[in-house]
Chains A and B, each alone.
Chain A
Amino acid sequence: MTDADYVELRCRSAFSFLAGASLPEDLVARAAQLQHDAVAIVDRDGVYGAPRALRAARDAGMRALVGADVAIAGRRLGLLVVDRLGYRNLCRLVTRGKLRAPKGQCVLDWTDLEEHGAGLLALVPGGVDNMLEAGAGPELRPRLDRLRSIFDDDRVYVEVCRNFEPRQEQLTRRLLAVADAMRLPVVATNDVQHARPEDRRVLDVFTCLRLKTTLDAAGRKLMPNAEHHLKSSREMRALFRDVPEAIRNSRRIADRCGFTLEDLGYRFPSVDSPDGMSGMVRLRALVERGARDRYRKLVPRIRAQLELELGIIERLDLAGYFLIVADIVDFCRQRNILAQGRGSAANSAVCFALGITAIDPIGMEMLFERFLSEERGEWPDIDIDLPSGDRREAVIQYVYQRYGVHSAAMTANVVTYRPRSAVREVGKVLGLGADAVTKLASLLRAFEFRDPDDEVPNQLAAAGLDPSAPRVRLLVELVRRMQNLPRHLGQHSGGMVLAAGRLDEIVPLEPATMPGRVVVQWDKDDCADLGIIKVDLLGLGMMAVLEDAIPLVREHDGVEIDLARIRKDDPAVYEMLQKADTVGVFQVESRAQMATLPRLKPTCFYDLVVEVAIIRPGPIVGQMVHPYLRRRAKREPVTYPHPSLKPILERTLGVPLFQEQLLRIAMTVAGFSGGEAEELRRAMGFKRSTERMGQIETRLRAGMAARGIVGESAESIVRAITSFALYGFPESHSASFALIAYASAYLKVHHPAAFYCAILNNWPMGFYHPATLVKDAGRHGVEILPIDVMHSAWHCTIEARAIRLGLRYVYGFREAAARRIEAERAHRPFASLGDLIMRAALREDERRQLANAGACFALGGHRRDVLWQIAALDPDPHTLFATTSARRDVQSGASSPLPPMSPLEETLADYASTGLTAGPHVMAHLRASLRNAGVITGAEVRQIPDGRYVLVAGHVIVRQRPGTAKGMLFLTLEDETGTCNVAVRPDQFRRHRRLLHTARMLRVGGPLQNVDGVIHVLGCAFEEIALPGAAPPSHDFH
């Protein structure tokens, strides 16, 4: 026998979720180290870890056998896949068990196994725990008989294990005797649950988490030893020297199980039309038609680009994929659902022609290779932005319906242990004090456990734990070991996979938490690795706003807007952008964006593309922002690292801002092909591999040297690429976002009522609270009408160019009640409070909420009168006494012994009951006293020259302390005239920390800074403005 005679056929990975302690990659790596040439990953109720095992096995030059450990009629059974039929059966078996059971469980019976046993090989478990679970008593023989009837004699093996456990040898001998008596073959396994002996500790922790106990209390529920690790063939032969056939059979089984996931048999859904037209011919036709529609005239340059792309698509056999995505977009178009491709797809003229994207890549000189290249041989990745909410769900359901529930599913999202979650769980298991564990977990935002002797002790000490205490040391060790181990399976936000035929024969499906959804057992990377095509259908709040605004504009302004055809050079839009009047505008409404707009002064669409991309970690960390802005203001000459880069960087004034520029730089200075350049970008990406980066950098330098670029020029290019690639924003993506940003800005300028109404109806979204949005609307001439049961619908509506606030903003009010109000009012206006309450069947709390919000003014006078009246009504409007009671109320009139609210109380009551007010801003009530104290308004600040000391005051609507700002705190104060930005230096922040952390209304004094129209008060003196009630909250970034 050689060292490779034994094959481990039962490895449970961490994808058995709390029943295995090592990643599939680690198990495969360890098996390779022990000179095995194959290993089987047999996880509980699924093949979650199989793609990772395949990847690792491929790298290690060995085979990863596929299997799963399932429970048949409550007894565990190992199933190994012999061939593709077996794999299909296993997937269908697991899918069936999963879909009929509650989430996280798998329920199967003998009938299921009988239906799907073909192509599989059964291993009757032999470990002590498995046997106790599987049953080793008198029921064993009938069970084996039944298995034999399903799998025939040569596909049922009795597993024997020798893990040096008490009682195990007795059980093993009994199994051997039974197998011998029934003439069933035996096979040795080590019932592997962790790769190395030392991983047993994590397994013990997982056992405790699974059983919800602590290590101290777990007792014999834990493993008795650390012998369930991978062992060499020599060790296993020695263990089974008295049963050599058990070892030989492991090899025989491995040889029989020829299936690997490379033989998945996945096919993309067929798109050939019934008339026999192939997918490629159809695609060409669609592209031709779409291109003519988009470009009007197909000049040679456009034709050449389209031909280039179609050629690549044909050679990569991707026509079907593009047709399916086009079909989804077409569905959206038919249903009037806005859809726009984003990301690298915007680099493709074919996508533009098919209507998948809205950016003309030829006009904008985009780089197609960023999207697709023959060298990479990968599926393209197309993300489609859809209006969030029901409309996105409608598209997802269309895909299910179009391709069948068994052919479409969401991709999984594997949630792994991160430092905080691991600390919490390990701390619990170790019995550490809950207080200390919670505190430690809260301190761990950037806790990466890189160096336990340096960084971690400080964190531990801060949490009140002694780093030298043994259990604390264990905590650190275990948390480190648990990093990246899977914790549970979630659902990806929008990734859908499709297959020709049954997807549940390609990968097992599971129910998602959301009703009507199923998810595959693999995440998007695993799917991509195995060539399974994914389409991302992502929800975007602003898409919903645009979609909602268009009919409002049509109805109230009499204008038909086609977002695809609006002019991109509207001076009014750019004038608004230059003034940073961008509250509510997609992507450019943040404080930082607003502080950049007056300096960048966008005058064309490409400027907006730059604006969207520039306030990002890449340009900020790479210190590209200020050079760009200086060059734009002509305060600094435009230079290039090398003359050859001028054509690439000219549009961004010599400063690299986009990923595509990085790719082009590599192609120009080092002769990289498009595919190589994209490989470079990925190598520098988030999952950096030092080795891979080193190789590519060497190639980059060699390429530059061959073109005579050496010395400082070469160094600066390498530096730009390496620092920028990590965070750089793709130009195509930025252009797609800029399109939405422009559309939203256009609506804000020309149709503000529709724009604000749509935003208010789609909130929560964006950067600002509705309280700020309605005040901004007011400043743009849009009257805001208060909530009124005689006029308001559930959503906000437009009444003669004014916005009527909807009942959705009344806290605690149900949509069903609002719909009843709408319906009853349409039938006949409400005559009194009693009439309203009876006909709309309002609950007691809902009546109070309406009254608090001042929504019943038309029926009952001021709020407290209404409150007084409705409190006297019978809680159940349908009782016999309700009518009497209501009549008495109406007859009694609106008078009450309660004092009416003051104007300030009215405003605060608005905030308290709806979060916003249609009345005066809260600061307007305080203006007189503020004026006496020398406080100026947000509007007046703009007239004050630079350097003068000013006093400002307002409601804090933004509170931000970005990591890139060296400890500066930024506040945005809002008053009845507008907003004012305040910057607080770190020393001032430390001095006034509590106030600046908590105050919702602030008075701030300090010198004014007005640089290029960007105005800040440099805060030095702070005082909280007390109110008799609560102001709406601020948008805080701690």
Chain B
Amino acid sequence: MPRIGCMWVPDLCLRAYLRMDPESASMSLAFSDGNETRGVIVAMTTLAADAGIVVGMRVSQARAVSADTIIRSTSPEVIDAAMIALADVASGVSARVEIDRRGRVFCDCEGAALLWASEGELAGVLAARATRCGLPVRIGIADSKLGASVAARESGGVLIVPSGQTKDFLAPFPVGLLDPDSTSAGVLASWGIRTIGQLATLPAGALAHRLGLSGVSLARRACGEDTAPLVIRPMPQSFQESVELDYEVERLEPLIFILRRLIEGVVTRIDLCGLTCQALEIRFALEGGGFDLRRVRAAAPTLDVKTLVTVVRAELESRPPSQPVTGIVVDGHSMRIRPTQLDLLRPVGPAPDVLASTLARLVILCGSDRVGVVRESDTHRPDAIEIGTFESDDHPEGGVSPPEPDAAHTGVVIRLALRAFRPVIPLEVFESRGRLDFVRGEGFGGRVVQWAGPRRLRGEWWTAEPFAREYYDVELSDGGVYRIYRDVRRQCWIADGVYD
């Protein structure tokens, strides 16, 4: 007879959330099933319950009942993270662990007596470890997954159903616990079958004739004969930890403090799976409703939290979030640890961890906008570039490659190349009756011989740094042809580059 253990987290979405943000327990907070307009309340804190919110209420009703209660949509990411953490706990005691979408984790307890004094002691260990992970669980152990899950739900803590007694144990419980498909559930309801025991009294053959395979399965499960094997959870590829803040974090240090905790969580879980961290994707929810997505990666996959935090710090120091941060999701992308095969014909490169730390330090020293691979931004601002991540591969992603010859115009194309001044050079421009007359900048200057323009570019008006520029091409008496612009917002002139 198999023995299956089940860990079940009541109010999973609430518990998963509180695991990330324990302070929310003291708030009037409720969760809807995701649909904001017609959503239904699925969990709430004690304060919200005291305010009159109940499970099953529509969001609009809940708002009407308690305007002060914060109603959040359930977050699949947060719930997933909690379930995976729970599965990790189960993995500590069993090699065969199944995770399902209803806040349950099953594990194979057969043979547990060899390792633990009793099934009760095993359950106690599981409960204690889950609690340390911030997830108060109920635990049931029975002959089947169904029996274990019902025992967990009904336990209030830990409930062990003795071997061979699962059928009697299940009899008084509602038939819905058998998870019939919607058609079968409808049929059973119309038949007036409400308990598992009532279902068990129906002739199995007649049931099979009427409900097909589903009927066969229901009849067997109603008798405690659940032979469905454990579905072993697949090895995850990405590991997510997240936190929603009820206060805005404006300074870097507190932000790094929170991030370190999240990164540690991610790295630990990656480590438990025998993988290594390839990259981190960090999504900052910003005050005012926007978000800021960062992708950081060490030069090579690593499990070193310190290195990853350094890289993240470098990224944030050079380009802090534009608004205070109200929430963080850290997604750790993992990969298998591969042994490195050195190339006989190439010099030995730096160790990946060392390279990562070095790049991170460079970023801190020079700023993230000066370390990496240059890419053109999708904007009308001509000098807008993005710095892509430096890759240690042989063919760096986004590297600048020589322009392809234009097949239609081979041999006759004359391309002007602009050598950009970086940093740009402030200019004095003298105008006379609306015409550019004289230009003077550091290192060059002269009378304007010819000019073309303006080309007016205005954009990104929705950001903190909109641009408004008027570009001109000017030929000066010194023989040079320059691209200059007037920054309309700052009321100044700038030399952008010179045409070769």
B29-88 residues at the A interface, CB under 8 angstroms? 36-37, 52-54, 57, 60-61, 64-65, 67, 70, 72-73
Q: Please tell me if the beta carbons of A993 and B64 are within 8 angstroms of each other in the complex.
A: yes
Q: With A and B bound together, what is the CA distance between A222 and B323 in angstroms?
A: 24
Q: Mark A420-438, 1 if CB is under 8 A from B, else 0.
A: 0000000100111111111
Q: Please tell me if the beta carbons of B288 and A222 are within 8 angstroms of each other in the complex.
A: no
CB of A576 within 8 Å of the partner chain: no
Q: Mark A169-196, 1 if CB is under 8 A from B, else 0.
A: 1000000000000000000000000000
Q: Please tell me if the beta carbons of B459 and A222 are within 8 angstroms of each other in the complex.
A: yes
Q: Please tell me if the beta carbons of A436 and B289 are within 8 angstroms of each other in the complex.
A: yes
Stretch in B118-126, B131-139, B186-194, B365-373 with 4+ CB within 8 Å of A = B186-194
Partner of B378, one of A200, A220, A437: A220
| CB closest residue in chain A, given B53 | A994
Stretch in A374-382, A465-473, A713-721 with 4+ CB within 8 Å of B = A465-473
Q: Please tell me if the beta carbons of B288 and A997 are within 8 angstroms of each other in the complex.
A: no
Partner of A872, one of B37, B210, B454, B464: B210
Q: Please tell me if the beta carbons of A864 and B456 are within 8 angstroms of each other in the complex.
A: no
Given A166-B457, A225-B458, A994-B54, are A867 and B379 also a contact pair (CB < 8 Å)?
A: no
Smallest Cβ distance from A716 to chain B, in angstroms? 40
Q: With A and B bound together, what is the CA distance between A105 and B202 in angstroms?
A: 60
B210 proximity list for chain A (CB < 8 A):
868, 871-872
Q: Mark B436-464, 1 if CB is under 8 A from A, else 0.
A: 00000000000000001011111101101
CB of B206 within 8 Å of the partner chain: yes
CB of A439 within 8 Å of the partner chain: yes
A474 proximity list for chain B (CB < 8 A):
462
A427 proximity list for chain B (CB < 8 A):
289
B70 proximity list for chain A (CB < 8 A):
464
CB of B173 within 8 Å of the partner chain: no
| CB closest residue in chain B, given A215 | B462
A445-472 residues at the B interface, CB under 8 angstroms? 462, 464-466, 469-472
Give the bracket for the number of chain B residues in contact with chain A.
35 or more
B449-492 residues at the A interface, CB under 8 angstroms? 452, 454-459, 461-462, 464, 470-471
Q: Please tell me if the beta carbons of A220 and B380 are within 8 angstroms of each other in the complex.
A: yes
A842-886 residues at the B interface, CB under 8 angstroms? 848, 851-852, 863-864, 867-868, 871-872
A872 proximity list for chain B (CB < 8 A):
206, 209-210
Q: Please tell me if the beta carbons of B456 and A227 are within 8 angstroms of each other in the complex.
A: yes
Partner of A871, one of B211, B291, B454: B211
A215 proximity list for chain B (CB < 8 A):
462
B290 proximity list for chain A (CB < 8 A):
430-432, 471
| CB closest residue in chain B, given A995 | B52
Q: Mark B271-294, 1 if CB is under 8 A from A, else 0.
A: 000000000000001011111000
Partner of A899, one of B192, B289, B459, B464: B192
Q: Mark A657-674, 1 if CB is under 8 A from B, else 0.
A: 000000000000000000
CB of A1038 within 8 Å of the partner chain: yes
Q: With A and B bound together, what is the CA distance between A872 and B464 in angstroms?
A: 69
Q: With A and B bound together, what is the CA distance between A462 and B285 in angstroms?
A: 19
Partner of A864, one of B53, B190, B464: B190
CB of A481 within 8 Å of the partner chain: no
Q: Please tell me if the beta carbons of A864 and B192 are within 8 angstroms of each other in the complex.
A: yes
Q: Please tell me if the beta carbons of A867 and B380 are within 8 angstroms of each other in the complex.
A: no
Partner of A434, one of B36, B65, B67: B36
Partner of B461, one of A201, A867, A909: A201
CB of B201 within 8 Å of the partner chain: yes
B288 proximity list for chain A (CB < 8 A):
432, 465-466, 469-472
Q: Please tell me if the beta carbons of B289 and A225 are within 8 angstroms of each other in the complex.
A: no
Q: With A and B bound together, what is the CA distance between A281 and B325 in angstroms?
A: 80
Q: Please tell me if the beta carbons of B52 and A433 are within 8 angstroms of each other in the complex.
A: no
A392-444 residues at the B interface, CB under 8 angstroms? 427, 430-439, 442
Q: Please tell me if the beta carbons of B456 and A898 are within 8 angstroms of each other in the complex.
A: no
Q: With A and B bound together, what is the CA distance between A897 and B203 in angstroms?
A: 9
A435 proximity list for chain B (CB < 8 A):
36, 72-73
Q: Please tell me if the beta carbons of A994 and B380 are within 8 angstroms of each other in the complex.
A: no
| CB closest residue in chain B, given A205 | B462
Q: With A and B bound together, what is the CA distance between A909 and B192 in angstroms?
A: 11
Q: With A and B bound together, what is the CA distance between A439 and B61 in angstroms?
A: 13
CB of A763 within 8 Å of the partner chain: no
A437 proximity list for chain B (CB < 8 A):
289
A997 proximity list for chain B (CB < 8 A):
61, 64-65
Interface centre among A430, A434, A470, A474 (most CB of B within 10 A): A470
Smallest Cβ distance from A221 to chain B, in angstroms? 8
Q: With A and B bound together, what is the CA distance between A846 and B203 in angstroms?
A: 25
Q: Mark B231-272, 1 if CB is under 8 A from A, else 0.
A: 000000000000000000000000000000000000000000
Q: With A and B bound together, what is the CA distance between A80 and B240 in angstroms?
A: 59
Smallest Cβ distance from A20 to chain B, in angstroms? 19
Q: With A and B bound together, what is the CA distance between A438 and B379 in angstroms?
A: 29
Interface centre among A169, A201, A224, A430 (most CB of B within 10 A): A224
Q: With A and B bound together, what is the CA distance between A442 and B37 in angstroms?
A: 8
| CB closest residue in chain B, given A913 | B190
Q: With A and B bound together, what is the CA distance between A132 and B291 in angstroms?
A: 34
Given A871-B211, A897-B203, are A994 and B456 also a contact pair (CB < 8 Å)?
A: no
Q: Please tell me if the beta carbons of A224 and B458 are within 8 angstroms of each other in the complex.
A: yes
Q: Please tell me if the beta carbons of A867 and B378 are within 8 angstroms of each other in the complex.
A: no
Q: Please tell me if the beta carbons of B192 and A224 are within 8 angstroms of each other in the complex.
A: no
Q: Please tell me if the beta carbons of A466 and B287 are within 8 angstroms of each other in the complex.
A: yes
Smallest Cβ distance from B468 to chain A, in angstroms? 8
CB of A226 within 8 Å of the partner chain: yes
B187 proximity list for chain A (CB < 8 A):
848, 867, 871
Q: Please tell me if the beta carbons of B61 and A898 are within 8 angstroms of each other in the complex.
A: no
Q: Mark B94-135, 1 if CB is under 8 A from A, else 0.
A: 000000000000000000000000000000000000000000
CB of A1025 within 8 Å of the partner chain: no
CB of A133 within 8 Å of the partner chain: no
CB of A274 within 8 Å of the partner chain: no
B464 proximity list for chain A (CB < 8 A):
470
Partner of A848, one of B36, B37, B186, B287: B186
Partner of B192, one of A851, A905, A998: A905
| CB closest residue in chain A, given B215 | A871
Given A848-B190, A867-B187, are A994 and B289 also a contact pair (CB < 8 Å)?
A: no
Q: With A and B bound together, what is the CA distance between A206 and B287 in angstroms?
A: 25
Q: Please tell me if the beta carbons of B61 and A994 are within 8 angstroms of each other in the complex.
A: yes
User: Which 5 pairs show the lowest CB-CB distances between chains A and B?
Assistant: A219-B378, A469-B288, A432-B289, A871-B210, A164-B456
Query: Besides the contacts A165-B455, A993-B65, A997-B64, what 8 more A-B pairs have beta carbons closer than 8 Å?
Result: A216-B462, A224-B380, A430-B462, A433-B285, A442-B36, A471-B462, A872-B206, A993-B64
13 A–B contacts from the bound complex (CB under 8 Å): A166-B382, A224-B380, A431-B291, A432-B288, A438-B36, A438-B37, A442-B36, A469-B289, A472-B289, A848-B187, A897-B206, A993-B52, A997-B61
